[in-house]
């Protein structure tokens, strides 16, 4: 059924992984869920929730064992995120966002840099923010305007502006993707760096007001003649696009898992409400129209669950085509979540529109999943292009005749 079950045939976890997931379920029921409404009251960083996730070892799942993490499989992370997102987008975003903001360090940092930074990132003692998006370049990473040039004292000098940067107001360091001044165009000229927050020339704006996802604020970040030390280069010069794509791949699977969890949570709320709310002398759920509505949502969520889980399997197996499947999973799960939450809110009637009930919060949060890490329209473009290119390589379908006999 669409309301999460104890076991799913696509999920295979080790005993230790299963034990961690059970602890997460207990946290969701006893701590994260009951606290979700309070966390969503103000758009200030949810320190209490973040510290809880750190203490329980959930944040550490994104980091390698060699540097203090637990190096969880993508399948385990998807299941954790799904469970948490069924009650609280903020907590789920803190899990996915830690991975997003730190992944380039894990994937591209030198051994010395990883040893210096990752243990504290894994424990939550320090935080990073991923500074990719700009006022004039969001999904089109190749058009980034932030640029760097060699500095006389060694290293580089960075200039530019970044927009919609999550955790900017609490980050101890920024992972910045920028273009080589006078370098090659497109993605070939991009490089990634770690820039400590206390480096002179960095300015962080006040928090930008937004519709939902309270507890994980965003801000503008400006870099004015900021010096970057040679050891803070991630990977090699020109590898910024590859590091960004690797990071966004994991983030897109995370968005799909959040959307899946929220949709399942919304259906559980709506179904339990329908069982208890009396209309015309019987529960709302006794009406056939409501039953059909719930059935359609349950079937759609289970299909999305299989899609998200199979994408996690592909990631863990190192499937070469995982990126396009991540786009498919994100597109399907996030668009579906928006429809499910709207329908569940409708099922609650006037109560669904009230702040006293959780679905208005679910609705505001759901929109972000359709936008972040590539809008639904961007992913439709990627998927459509992939399908057409793939079709061009296949033998002609045996039933397709481009010049059929029109008269017999």
Beta bridge partners of 227: 157
Q: Cβ neighbours of residue 152 under 8 Å, at least 6 residues apart?
A: none
Q: Which CATH class is domain 128-237?
A: mainly beta
Q: What is the pLDDT of residue 399?
A: 96
CA dihedral of residues 185, 188, 189, 191 (deg, nearest 10): 150
Residue (of 46, 30, 26, 123) closest to 92 by Cα position: 46
pLDDT attached to residue 4: 54
What is the C-alpha to C-alpha distance for residues 270 and 291, in angstroms, rounded to an integer?
11
Q: Residues with catalytic annotation?
A: 373
What pLDDT is recorded for position 1? Answer: 46
Which residues belong to CATH 1.20.140.10 in the chain?
A: 242-392
b/e 69-108 (16+ beta carbons within 10 angstroms → b): bbebbbbbbbbbbbbbbbbbbbbbbbbbbbbbbbbbbbbb
Residue 275 and residue 291 in contact, taking contact as beta carbons nearer than 8 Å:
no
Task: Average pLDDT across each block of 10 residues of the chain; the chain has 408 residues. List them in order.
Answer: 68 95 97 96 96 98 97 98 98 97 97 98 98 87 91 96 97 97 87 98 98 97 98 97 96 98 98 95 95 98 98 98 98 98 97 96 97 95 98 97 91
Query: What is the structure's pLDDT at 128?
Result: 98
* Structure-token pair, residue 48: 């209490």
Fold of 242-392: Butyryl-CoA Dehydrogenase, subunit A; domain 3 (1.20.140)
CB burial string 119-144: b at 16+ within 10 A, e below = bebbbbebbbbbbbbbeebbbebeeb
* Protein fold of 15-123: Butyryl-Coa Dehydrogenase, subunit A; domain 1 (1.10.540)
- Please, where in the chain does CATH 1.10.540.10 lie? 15-123
Q: Say if residues 123 and 60 touch (Cβ distance below 8 Å).
A: yes
Q: Helices 359-369 and 89-108, interaxial angle, to 10°?
A: 30
């Amino acid at each position: 059924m669409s309301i999460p079950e104890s076991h799913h045939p696509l999920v295979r976890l080790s005993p230790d992984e299963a034990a961690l997931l059970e602890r997460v379920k207990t946290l969701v029921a006893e701590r994260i869920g009951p606290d979700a409404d309070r966390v969503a009251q103000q758009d200030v960083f949810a320190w209490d929730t973040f510290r809880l996730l750190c203490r329980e070892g959930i944040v550490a799942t994104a980091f390698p064992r060699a540097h203090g993490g637990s190096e969880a499989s993508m399948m385990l992370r998807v299941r954790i995120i799904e469970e948490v997102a069924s009650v609280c987008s903020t907590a789920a975003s803190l899990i996915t966002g830690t991975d997003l903001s730190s992944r380039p360090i894990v994937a591209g940092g030198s051994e010395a840099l990883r040893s210096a930074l990752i243990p504290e990132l894994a424990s939550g003692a320090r935080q990073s923010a991923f500074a990719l998006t700009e006022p004039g370049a969001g999904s089109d990473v190749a058009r980034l305007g932030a640029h760097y040039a060699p500095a006389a004292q060694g290293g580089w000098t960075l200039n530019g502006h970044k927009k919609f940067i999550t955790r900017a107001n609490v980050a101890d360091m920024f992972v910045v993707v920028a273009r080589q001044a006078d370098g090659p165009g497109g993605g070939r000229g991009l490089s990634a760096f770690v820039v400590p927050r206390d480096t002179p020339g960095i300015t962080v704006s006040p928090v930008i007001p937004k519709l939902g996802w309270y507890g994980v604020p965003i801000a503008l970040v400006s870099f004015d003649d900021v010096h970057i030390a040679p050891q803070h280069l991630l990977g090699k010069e020109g590898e910024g696009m590859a590091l960004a794509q690797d990071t966004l791949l994991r983030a897109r699977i995370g968005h799909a898992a959040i959307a899946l969890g929220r949709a399942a949570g919304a259906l559980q709320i709506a179904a339990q409400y329908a069982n208890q709310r009396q209309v015309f002398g019987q529960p709302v759920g006794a009406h056939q129209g409501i039953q059909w509505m719930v059935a359609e949502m349950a079937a759609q969520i289970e299909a999305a669950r299989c899609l998200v889980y199979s994408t996690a399997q592909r990631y863990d197996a190192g499937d070469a085509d995982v990126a396009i499947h991540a786009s498919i999973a994100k597109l399907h799960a996030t668009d579906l979540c928006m429809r499910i939450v709207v329908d569940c809110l409708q099922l609650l009637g006037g109560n669904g529109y009230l702040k006293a009930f959780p679905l208005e919060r679910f609705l505001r949060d759901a929109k972000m999943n359709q936008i972040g890490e590539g809008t639904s329209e961007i992913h439709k473009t990627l998927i459509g292009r992939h399908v057409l290119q793939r079709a061009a390589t296949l033998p002609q379908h045996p039933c397709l005749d481009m010049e059929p006999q029109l008269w017999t």
